[in-house]
Structure 1
Amino acid sequence: MKHLIAAIGLIAIPPIAYSAPDVGTQEFSISGSGSSDKDFDSNIFSMDAAYGQYLSPDAEVGVRQSVSVSDHEGEESVWNGSTRVFYDHHFGRDTLKPYLGANLGYIYGESVDESFIAAPEAGLKYYVADSTFVVGQVEYQFLFEDADEADNRFSDGVFVYGVGMGYNF
């Protein structure tokens, strides 16, 4: 009976070891989106990139950069961006890793009032290979001029979501 239990244990080890992604200490992810009217007279493109550093297998800190460009026929192109620092806490060790976190930064550009931006966030990483994943994330962003205003502006926030690809190294 002991030999049977040992054999079952040895058979189970490779699938268990394979199911855990090979998470490095750093991470890079990128996503993008765009839209155009049928004649390509009005075009919008946005791109997000993130770099993170793992403090532990569960805790990640990093920076996100977002840029969007809007180009409409007969008008000058308009760009906007935001730079945010983030903290995310990951759950699980398998190929599916949900996370919760928050970010804080600054929004700027030609068609926005420059101000601070903050957001709680939630996401899900699905590892398609040992170090490569598809990521989906949603944030509830709100803008504020100073710390006193942050509580009042939370109810005026917007949901921002995206899907992209990432790599651990």
Structure 2
Amino acid sequence: MKMLTNASLAVLIGASLLSSSYAMAQGGQSTIGPKEGDQEFALSGTGSSDKDFDSSSFGISGDYGWYLSDRTLAGIRQSINFADVEGEDLSDDFWNGSTRGFVDYHFGQGAARPFVGASIGGIYGDGVNDTGIAGLETGLKYYLLATTFIQARAEYQFLFDSSDSAEDNFDDGAWAYTFGMGLNF
């Protein structure tokens, strides 16, 4: 495990040096990150767990969004997940997907950009009831180059059929987490 930690540290140090070098090459002015009107695409590996981390699935998530300001990103997110449930019957394998709109607010102006946000949409597929889904999220984008970043995000999602069930189901939500990369253009 120590080797993984050292490798991760080396990547972050290298990214910091690369970002600093880029900023210096631009005359000392930081041009890292998006501007109002820019678009963003990100591709991430994703996973989800129930609130006690007893049941999990894994998949892929794609985000496409527009910067309404230098800090506010609004967009659409598509996730597709596969779960292999332990059991004697092979039909216990299933897929599900979710499509949701999101809004994130980013902090900072350097290479590291923490963010908070919210999403709302729908979930569908095998092993889930087709229903509404909403959640809060937080994460961090780290710009390796002026327009290219890696990101980690955690979302607390809850399912609902109506506004009454949304309030009731908040305590029975699930965690979804992603790690990936993206670019602004």
Q: Return the TM-score normalized by structure 2.
A: 0.72
Give per-residue Cα distances to partners, 1:98-156, cap 9 Å, x unaligned: 11100001000011111100001001000001110000001011111111211111111
Amino acid at match of 1:50: D
Shift of residue 14, structure 1, vs aligned partner: 3.0
Q: How does 1:24-103 map to 2 (within 5 A)?
A: 25-32=38-45, 45-70=58-83, 75-76=90-91, 78-103=94-119
Separation (CA, whole Å) in 2 of partners of 1:138 and 1:14: 36
Which residue, 27, 32, 37 being the options, matches 1:21?
32
Alignment-derived partner of residue 168 in structure 2: 152
Q: Deviations over 1:50-109 (max 9, x none)?
A: 001000101110000000134689735522100010000111111011111000010000
Which ranges in structure 1 are unaligned for 5 or more consecutive residues? 1-10, 35-43
Aligned residue pairs total 147
Match of 1:134 in 2: 150
Larger Cα-atom Rg: 1
- Name the SS of the counterpart of 2:34 in structure 1: coil
Q: What amino acid maps onto 2:32 in structure 1?
A: P
- The CA distance in 1 between the partners of 2:89 and 2:176, in whole Å, is 29
Q: Matched residues, percent identical?
A: 44
The alignment yields a C-alpha RMSD, in angstroms, of 2.2
Structure 1 residues 69 and 54, CA, compared in 2 at 3 Å: closer, same or farther? same
CA 1:33–1:117: 2 relative to 1, 3 Å: closer
More strand by share: 1
SS at 1:14 equivalent: coil
- Corresponding residue for residue 182 of structure 2: 166
**TM-score w.r.t. structure 1 length?**
0.79
